[in-house]
A and B are shown apart, each in its own frame.
Chain A
Amino acid sequence: MVAKKGGSRGGGASEVAEEDLARVPLQAILLADSFAQKFRPITLERPKVLLPLVNVPMIDYTLAWLESAGVEEVFVFCCAHSKQVVDYLDNSKWFDQPNFSVTTIESHNSVSAGDALRLIYERNVRTFRKNWRMWTVDEIFGIDCLRWDYKDTRSIHAIAYLGAGLDINGDFILISGDTVSNMLLTQALREHKERRRKDSNAVMTMVVKQSKPSPVTHQSRLGTEELIIAIDPDTKQLLYYEDKADHLKGTITLDKVLLADNPSISLHNDKQDCYIDICSPEVLSLFTDNFDYQHLRRHFVKGLLVDDIMGYKIFTHEIHSSYAARIDNFRSYDTISKDIIQRWTFPLVPDVQIFRNCATKLERQGMYRASGVRQSRSAQIGPFSVIGNGTTIGDNTVISNSVVGEGCTIGSNVSIEGCYIWHTVTIEDGCKLRHAIVCDGVLMKSGAILEPGGVLSFKVVIGQQFVVPAYSKVSLLRQPIKQDSDEELEYADEGSGIETPCNFWKLCFLTFSGTISNTQDKLNGELRDDSSEMRCRAASEVYEFPVGNHCFVGVVDNMFVLVLVFDRRSFSFLVMIHNLGSKGVCVSLTNHCNHQVGNGGVGFIWSVSEGGHDEEWRQSIAPIPADKLIEAAQATNDDLYRFTQDGNVLPPSGELEPGSTMNGSDSDEIDRIREDSAYFEREVEATFLRAVNENIKEDLVILEVNSLRLSYNLTSEDCAGALFYSMMKFALDVPHSSANELVKNAGDVITTWQKLLGYYLPSIDEEIEVIMKFEEMCLESAKEYSSVFVQILHLLYDKDIIKEEAILSWAAEKEGADESDKIFVKQSEKLIQWLNEASEEED
């Protein structure tokens, strides 16, 4: 094959224009890893690029497009589950295409796109220097990194070729393995090369496409956040790129230089990034030079745009009639599937056998049915559905807007709407599924219901009549307990942070003598790991025992030895029993009592990560619920309103009018300041209440309070005071009957927002301010607190919000004050005394 390549190159497909453009074969780097976690829990078991998209793995779409676009060499970079990707490609047709070579590179320690490109660059350089010498495989790549046809590797030629093979010496396409496109590259390539000829700093051309984001949800139809880019309308140079625009609430900040340097700028929010990049070889070295670049867009693109020393430029190429989109999340999975079914990706559509898939016919109303479907006469398959080969569909079943994979069994009276059902799924009678993803090998027992947005990962079993709640993700694997905050840095192989599938299993033993129906005593066994003894206690309850990995041996009731071998694959126990006594034993199969998916179900429902629940609807398969839309519309209006409000309020309070200090009297000034701080307090209180009600994250509250502080020209002491005031006010507003309850309420609020308050208490001064504020509150606005002052002060001390120095210096400050001012100092005398003693003891 190697020899053939050289000979037949260029004689290929249809790219006549290709030849004059590229003397070197066009290369592509395909990242077979998204370095993200959006498809969890599915991606814990299978890499994202192998997930079926309208019954064909995503990577096939990408490779098919690369091939038809005239790319001749593809380096597939595999990280997570690299073995699976490599095995899949081995068995696929991609290795024996004429004029199209696919090489896989494995890496187990790359955690981001940046790492991947650095690795490619290193090899590139290494092989470049040492080209055409004979190397052992390990020398060139290290054992973990190599993937080539092993048969060939034995020959010197193959190795030498391998050395040369990684030589990326011309422009290359950088694409991730989850991109679907049918665009022609010729035009974009030509533009790129022309620009390169004129200006060697034009290192990258980015493909964009028109797509208007929803004005209500501020997200594109692919579920990604609104993208704002600035382009020079003449040269098409990219000047600004912001894809995390949501928290900016409708405002963006452009560098003044941008406006000064460019005669015209067009600012777009209706463009969609296709994640198809034409890169010059410099890009690889740029990644190596900037070793902290991880994310292709967030770090690399933004980094290049900001960096004006090197002067590298990025350009855009807009496509109009052709299609390109990347699957980023579940919503884009849904959207792109529907685009494929509607044939926007032609010829990458189900009934064209690009992938050597089974013959599928397009019927009326966009319905695709493979030849080997067995379907009941009374079943209704609605429009825009795809039914895979070998699937059986029972009576009165209704399917609409859905994709059903190969070899599925669907019972009677099932209703499936807007679902993606992968291969060999069994759905028993009477199930209802709406807008969900059901992975390979899932079994849904009769009457189970899957609410919108649900995801059932591989081989999950849903019990009878069980209702899987909306937006829940069910997997055989437990949710990792440790949640890394940096999403893109964690997309490791199985095992990291993920526990064994299940910590505790409940096992029922049924012993019986004679007939099964008579004696069904449940025995209770305490099982230990790995051949340790299992003692048995007579009890009627099911017992939990820890699961190690594989095997348990125990003696139950001195009568029999029980050997349980846990098979992780099938998620079941192989049970071997050695009978010591005369009784027979039967181990019941209800070993998954710990599972949360109904009677006889197998699987864990993943809880939604904190703070993310509100956003769950944004990127799920299900359409956005109407109430969320209304809410979002409301929020948009509010934002707009607040924005205009702010616009009106800010200037008079923010700027000191010149002359006001000169001419106006002092009292006026003081009045004004007091007024300001009253405003400020009210604003902070409103902010805080909104934070509580809408569950806004702390750092966003901090951001908002900070901006208020700046606009009112106040200190952080004021912020701390105001925040504390609003918290206590809030606690007071929670209905309570007794003083104790009030303390408890206050304690709850303080605990919840401890971090927020802590942020504004960097030093003793602020802490004293808080105490003073509290004191003031107790005297004036919230007299209920006066009786519990000490308790709350103690609470604050316990929570480490206020340190003892602050309390002591507060007490000292009050020493010389009026009697009336000293009420609270007196109240807290005991505490102060205790603190004093404690500090003396320490000394």
Chain B
Amino acid sequence: MPDMEIMINEFVAQLTKRKIEGSQATARLTAELLRTVVSQQRLPPTNQAMALIEAVRGVGERLISANPVELAVGNIVRRVLHIIREENFSVLTSDTGNLNLSAETDDEDTDEQDNCSVPSVAALAARNVLRAPSLHALLETMPNSAVACTEEKSNFFLKRIVMSYSFPAEKFARSRKLKLDVIEAVNELIDDIDTCHEQISEQAVEHIHQNKVILTLGRSRTVLEFFCAAKQKQRSFRVFVAEGAPRYQGHVLAKELVARGVQTTLITDSAVFSLVSRVNMVLVGAHAVMANGGIIAPIGLNMVALAARKYAVPFVVVAGIHKLCPLYPHDPEVSLNGMRSPSELLEFGKFSANMEFGMGSGAPLLHVVNPAFDYVPPELVNLLITDVGGHNPSYMYRLIADYYSADDFVLQRKSTS
């Protein structure tokens, strides 16, 4: 356990010092850490799921507050919490399965992961106990009239839990099973994170057609892989790269693209408007995708999106599913922006004479602001491409309902109150 504490502290320290760059790395490390938390957590005989949830939530809060700007941390914490809840119910329902309408609940977790086959009615009903039913779930379960007996069933589960006191052996087995299932599911989550780029780039050929001209801003690894995948499929296309001040990551992207043989044009950020009329598509990465389908993206992208709207050029966002955040951008918990050091904009020494506080009123006259992100509203986004396919921004609530449970949306507020 102290080892655990050291690991957490170290990770928190790294997050705080902003030493981990990029959502994917952060998400992966978070998931790995939470997996360790789950595996190290000692479970009480009763209410194991709650114990796990509490443990994960506790660690999660610390991680989130260490770097509130990196929303991927919160997303992964919520995903893991969701996994625990789901697995718990699958364990419970598998016990009670023979008494229930359907008996195939053991496959529940795989169903969830694949997200293509229709989940078992029992699992859905069970899920409904914990969270408000989504429209989709309601519609699906209505014909079976499972909703009607939800209440009854939850009582029944309670009874089962009470009953399980009397079977220590079975309980032991179950606790093992719960933990193992959760770890298994988290492993799958980690795999998903690892493979998100491939998953996304598989769809590249569907979106990048022959002789297309595509504009992007700054550098995103997802975007790079997307282009590379298209190039590998022998598509020939051209890319306009806006340099992305003040970090000028676009320069890096241009180099990488040219190294892979893509015809590339580098432009300044301010040239975007004049060039956007000549491109067929704008393709960018995102920092986070919010619940309403709006995105938080590197600074300058709102301008690009507006320009694209003006010329009716499709504005396409590629983002791994770990960037999908169940919060709304107006949520008070969301730190929309990370303010970075002004030294990225200008060299301190050269302006030191302008920052002489000993003169005048003592108030600084020069203020250098360096926000890291822009918010692009969903109206400006035409398509969001994630691991699970391309969707309209308005579809995001559905994905969120699949990956998160509503109880976990507000992690922090619960802790402070």
Chain A interface (Cβ < 8 Å from any Cβ of B): 13-14, 68, 97-98, 182, 209-212, 214, 217, 219, 221, 223, 272, 320-323, 331, 334-335, 338-339, 342-347, 351-354, 359, 361-362, 365-366, 371, 383-384, 400-401, 417-418, 435, 622-624, 629
Contacts and interface: CB of A to CB of B under 8 A. Distances in A.
Given A221-B352, A342-B368, A623-B359, 4 more contacts: A221-B358, A321-B347, A346-B341, A347-B18
Given A14-B19, A623-B357, A98 B343 contact: no
A322 B347 CA distance: 8
Please name the 7 residue pairs, one residue from A and one from B, whose CB atoms are nearest each other, closest first: A210-B349, A346-B341, A623-B362, A211-B352, A321-B343, A212-B353, A418-B362
A342 B339 CA distance: 10
A359 B412 CA distance: 12
Contacts of B368: 342
A347 B361 CA distance: 28
Contact of B363 (A214, A221, A371, A418): A418
A338 B357 contact: yes
Given A209-B349, A353-B65, A359-B65, A217 B343 contact: no
A354 B17 contact: yes
Nearest to A452: B362
Contact of A400 (B14, B339, B363, B370): B363
Interface residues of B, number: 38
Given A210-B350, A221-B357, A361-B335, A342 B364 contact: yes
Contacts of A400: 363
Nearest to A318: B349
A767 B416 CA distance: 83
Interface in B367-383: 367-368, 370
A371 to B, nearest CB: 7
Contact of B356 (A214, A365, A366): A214
Interface of B: 6, 9-10, 13-14, 16-19, 65-66, 335, 339-344, 347-350, 352-353, 355-364, 367-368, 370, 416
A221 B353 CA distance: 8
B16 A353 contact: yes
Contacts of A335: 357-358
Contact of A338 (B18, B335, B359, B364): B364
A623 B352 contact: no
B363 A344 contact: no
Given A335-B357, A435-B362, A623-B358, A371 B416 contact: yes
Contacts of A219: 358
Contacts, number: 115
A209 B349 CA distance: 7
B349 A343 contact: no
| Interface of chain A, main secondary structure | loop
A352 B335 CA distance: 12
B414 to A, nearest CB: 15
A211 B349 contact: yes
Contacts of B348: 209-210, 320-321, 323, 344
B357 A210 contact: no
A570 B242 CA distance: 64
23 contacts: A14-B19, A68-B17, A98-B9, A209-B348, A210-B347, A210-B352, A211-B352, A212-B352, A221-B352, A321-B344, A323-B348, A338-B355, A342-B342, A347-B341, A353-B66, A359-B65, A361-B335, A365-B367, A366-B367, A384-B364, A418-B362, A418-B363, A629-B359
Contact of B343 (A272, A338, A344, A629): A344
Contacts of B362: 334, 401, 417-418, 435, 622-623
B353 to A, nearest CB: 5
B229 to A, nearest CB: 30
Nearest to A365: B367
Given A212-B353, A223-B358, A320-B349, A347 B364 contact: no
A221 B356 CA distance: 5
Nearest to A223: B358
Contact of B359 (A321, A344, A345, A624): A624
Contacts of B357: 221, 334-335, 338, 623
Nearest to B6: A98
Nearest to A93: B9
Nearest to A219: B358
A417 B363 CA distance: 9
Contacts of A352: 16-18
A419 to B, nearest CB: 10
A623 B343 contact: no
A326 to B, nearest CB: 15
A362 B343 contact: no
Contacts of B65: 353, 359
A269 to B, nearest CB: 12
B340 A343 contact: yes
Contacts of A359: 65
Nearest to A354: B16
Contacts of A14: 19
B31 to A, nearest CB: 21
A780 to B, nearest CB: 50
Contacts of B16: 347, 352-354
Contacts of A345: 341
Contacts of B14: 13
A431 B344 CA distance: 40
A343 B342 contact: yes
A362 to B, nearest CB: 6
Contacts of A343: 339-342, 370
A401 B365 CA distance: 11
Contacts of A323: 343, 348
Contacts of A182: 341
Contacts of A97: 13
B368 to A, nearest CB: 7
A67 to B, nearest CB: 9
Contacts of B6: 98
B373 to A, nearest CB: 13
Contact of A346 (B10, B340, B367): B340
B382 to A, nearest CB: 31
Contacts of B347: 210, 320-321
A623 B358 CA distance: 4
Contacts of A334: 357, 362
